[in-house]
Amino acid sequence: MALAYSYACRDCEGMETCPASVTAATKEELWKLTELHAEIAHGEIPADWDPETRAYLETLVREVRV
Ligand SMILES: [Zn+2]
């Protein structure tokens, strides 16, 4: 069993119908995958996310055992 980080897009306000979720061993990788998903699926520009947005997303990250 190892610790990993997971983000489910549907947990994000306004994204309830999005089926995507990402899991990674490090938060650094998780952010990259989350940013890539947001860009591809939602047309977001992660580089423009302000600290409040990142802080909100951070609260949605779950620690999981894999
Ligand atoms: Zn999504």
> How many angstroms separate the alpha carbon of residue 41 from the centre of ligand 1?
6
List the structure tokens of 59: 């609260």
CA of 4 to the centre of ligand 1 (A): 20
The pTM (predicted TM-score) of the whole model is 0.93
Share of the chain above pLDDT 70, in %: 100
pLDDT of residue 5: 98
Q: Residue ranges per domain, the chain? A: 3-65
Q: Residue 32 Cα, ligand 1 centroid: separation in angstroms?
A: 14
**pLDDT tens-place string over residues 30-52:** 999 999 999 999 999 999 999 99
Residues 19 and 43: their CA atoms lie apart, in Å, by 16
| pLDDT beyond 90 at 1 | no
Which phi and psi (to 5°) does residue 37 adopt?
-60, -45
